């Protein structure tokens, strides 16, 4: 018996209406023509190859896709790429120094063993970083840190070490 | 988990936005997208046209004047939460905001978007029903002012017409000397409320309550003003017995039937507990303010 050959049925061209998106990502001007329904998370990963931004739930619950949109943490899976037109986007790839030296938050995660598989870590770091960069006073009590982390899910370590890492990062950044 | 296809428009003026909206019965407004985009990712929402209003002139900012807080359509939750003028004019707002999802969502989601989404367990609709807020809707036939009590019709349904854009909303400042409180019970912090209760209390010189306001979310197909409980508390000294009477008077307001989260009887118990607790907190704050 001869089986029908396996062949992909993925169309080569999208029939979606295209839209031009121009924005700044990690300090670089970027211009792409993409589908109008492309999510910012997919734009960063598939168009720009910035795969540090992870995609977990795609409905805003897990926090893995958190990036900075005009300086504030936001879910890239709940933002259309076209909505980010003209915005400044910052991703986890921009957090460590160019020579690879870790940012104090990343150092704190390493020191405190705040990651195991690391899937949630980019979103965690971007969210925490945004709160440290805000001018608002930060509540760095146990409950306050839990509140900061409440929009990010980790399924490996539990949160004890991540809480410790936020506390350590606050020390390293002189934010006690 | 990817949104269905739509046509996208990013107009610069309200008139242009209304024209796009009126051009098709399935056209929808996109503001912060924190409710609409997940609904689209789930394919629960399938708009034909998205009218992105973020570039529309005149839809940004918060103004506090003449006892009114005016919040424009593109104001994000977090902006309202952190606005120092709003904090002193109406501290209840910042307290409620702590319960709206998480900061990264509040950074993007808009107050007006949450009102138009009209989830019956959401906090913003409750806030507007509690304080008698007003929504200003602009459509092809002009502008109309809608009282919050007449805006929320049912689950995810409002009296906004499909071709209208809510361009701004208005909340009163807190009356001088009034105490306030909000709290909710959720499965996890940041989730939609099983039950949430907001409360405003005013006390006269002898400690007798007047102008009591109570509203709840999560108990019906829309946010509910608890008129019977308010009536039970006005004119009393808010003693434990009075709170019990108010809690009992509120039971009929719970109509949300058993669901995967909890039962109607548990919601009733939560509502009573929250009323007792929050009226006490609001009353303590009113006393503290009167001593200032």
User: Do residue B29 and residue B77 come from a single domain?
Assistant: no
Rounded CA gap, A157 and A143, in Å? 18
Please check whether residue B2 lies inside any domain of the structure.
no
CATH 1.10.150.120 domain range(s) in chain A: 104-172
Number of H helices, E strands in chain A: 5, 5
Q: Do residue A17 and residue B8 have CB atoms under 8 angstroms apart?
A: yes
The shortest C-alpha distance from B207 to chain A (Å) reads: 35
A68 contact B CB<8A: no
Q: Interface pTM (ipTM) of the complex?
A: 0.93
Candidates A83, A125, A154, partner chain B, best to mutate (most B CBs within 10 A): A83
Q: How many domains does chain B have?
A: 3
A87 contact B CB<8A: no
Chain A hits for B189, Cβ within 8 Å: 146-147, 150
User: Do residue B154 and residue B190 come from a single domain?
Assistant: no
User: Do residue B168 and residue B75 come from a single domain?
Assistant: yes
User: Do residue B37 and residue B127 come from a single domain?
Assistant: no
Query: What's the token pair of residue A134?
Result: 């805000």
The shortest C-alpha distance from B120 to chain A (Å) reads: 19
Please check whether residue B1 lies inside any domain of the structure.
no
Domain boundary among B152, B172, B192: B172
User: Do residue B194 and residue B281 come from a single domain?
Assistant: yes
Chain B hits for A147, Cβ within 8 Å: 189
User: Do residue B34 and residue B75 come from a single domain?
Assistant: no
Domain that residue B12 falls in: 7-52
Each residue of A96-146: pLDDT tens digit?
999 999 999 999 999 999 999 999 999 999 999 999 999 889 999 999 999
Q: Cβ(B187)–Cβ(B267) under 8 Å?
A: no
Q: Do residue B2 and residue A148 have CB atoms under 8 angstroms apart?
A: no
Rounded CA gap, A137 and A133, in Å? 10
User: Do residue B126 and residue B47 come from a single domain?
Assistant: no
A79 contact B CB<8A: yes
Q: Cβ(B97)–Cβ(B77) under 8 Å?
A: yes
The architecture that CATH gives domain A104-172 is Orthogonal Bundle (1.10)
- Give the domain CATH number at B266: 3.30.390.50
- Give the domain CATH number at B40: 3.30.43.10
Q: How many CB pairs under 8 A join A and B?
A: 95
Rounded CA gap, A139 and B181, in Å? 21
Q: Do residue A150 and residue B78 have CB atoms under 8 angstroms apart?
A: no
Q: Cβ(B235)–Cβ(B208) under 8 Å?
A: yes
Q: Do residue A75 and residue B5 have CB atoms under 8 angstroms apart?
A: no
CATH 3.10.20.30 domain range(s) in chain A: 18-94
A13 contact B CB<8A: no
User: Do residue B187 and residue B228 come from a single domain?
Assistant: yes
Residue of B nearest to A137 (CA): B82
Please check whether residue B235 lies inside any domain of the structure.
yes
- Give the domain CATH number at B127: 3.30.465.10
Residue A140 contacts by C-beta under 8 Å, 6 or more apart in sequence? A166, A167, A170, A175, A176
Please check whether residue B108 lies inside any domain of the structure.
yes
The architecture that CATH gives domain A18-94 is Roll (3.10)
Sign of CA dihedral B187, A158, A152, A146: positive
Please give chain B's pLDDT, 292 residues, in tens.
899 999 999 999 999 999 999 999 999 999 999 999 999 999 999 999 999 999 999 999 999 999 999 999 999 999 999 999 999 999 999 999 999 999 999 999 999 999 999 999 999 999 999 999 999 999 999 999 999 999 999 999 999 999 999 999 999 999 999 999 999 999 888 888 999 999 999 999 999 999 999 999 999 999 999 999 999 999 999 999 999 999 999 999 999 999 998 999 999 999 999 999 999 999 999 999 888 7
Q: Cβ(A89)–Cβ(A69) under 8 Å?
A: yes
């Amino acid at each position: 018996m001869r089986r029908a050959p396996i062949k992909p049925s993925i169309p080569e061209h999208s029939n979606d209406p295209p839209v031009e998106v121009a924005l700044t990502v990690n300090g670089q001007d970027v211009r792409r023509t993409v589908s109008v329904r492309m999510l910012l998370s997919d734009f960063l990963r598939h168009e720009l190859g910035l795969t540090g931004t992870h995609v977990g739930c795609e409905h805003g619950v897990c926090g893995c896709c958190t990036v900075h949109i005009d300086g504030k943490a936001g879910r890239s899976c709940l933002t259309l790429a076209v909505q980010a037109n003209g915005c400044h986007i910052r991703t986890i790839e921009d957090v460590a120094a160019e020579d690879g030296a870790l940012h104090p938050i990343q150092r704190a995660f390493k020191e405190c063993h705040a990651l195991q598989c690391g899937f949630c870590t980019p979103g965690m770091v971007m969210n925490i970083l945004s709160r440290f960069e805000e001018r608002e006073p930060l509540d760095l009590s146990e409950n306050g840190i839990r509140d900061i982390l409440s929009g990010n899910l980790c399924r490996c370590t539990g949160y004890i070490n991540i809480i410790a890492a936020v506390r350590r990062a606050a020390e390293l950044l002189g934010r006690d | 988990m990817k949104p269905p296809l739509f046509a996208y428009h990013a107009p610069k003026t309200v008139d242009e936005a209304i024209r796009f909206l009126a051009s098709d019965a399935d056209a929808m407004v996109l503001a912060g997208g924190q409710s609409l985009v997940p609904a689209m990712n789930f394919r629960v929402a399938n708009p034909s046209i998205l009218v992105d209003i973020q570039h529309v002139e005149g839809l940004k900012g918060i103004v506090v004047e003449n006892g009114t807080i005016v919040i424009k359509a593109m104001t994000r939750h977090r902006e309202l939460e952190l606005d120092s003028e709003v904090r002193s004019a109406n501290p209840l707002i910042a307290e409620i905001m702590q319960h709206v999802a998480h900061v990264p969502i509040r950074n993007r989601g808009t107050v007006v978007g949450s009102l138009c989404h009209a989830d019956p367990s959401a906090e913003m609709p409750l806030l507007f029903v509690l304080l008698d807020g007003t929504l200003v809707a602009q459509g092809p036939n002009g502008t109309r002012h809608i009282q919050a009590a007449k805006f929320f019709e049912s689950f995810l349904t409002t009296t906004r017409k499909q071709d209208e854009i809510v361009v701004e909303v208005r909340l009163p400042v807190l009356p001088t000397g009034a105490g306030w409180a909000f709290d909710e019970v959720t499965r996890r912090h940041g989730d939609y409320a099983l039950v949430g209760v907001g409360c405003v209390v005013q006390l006269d010189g002898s400690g007798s309550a007047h102008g009591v306001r109570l509203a709840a979310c999560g108990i019906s197909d829309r946010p509910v003003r608890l008129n019977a409980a308010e009536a039970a508390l006005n004119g009393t000294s808010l003693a434990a017995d009075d709170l019990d009477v108010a809690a009992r008077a509120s039971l009929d307001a719970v109509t949300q039937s058993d669901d995967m989260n909890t039962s109607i009887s548990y919601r009733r118990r939560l509502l009573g507990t929250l009323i007792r607790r929050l009226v006490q907190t609001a009353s303590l704050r009113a006393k503290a303010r009167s001593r200032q």
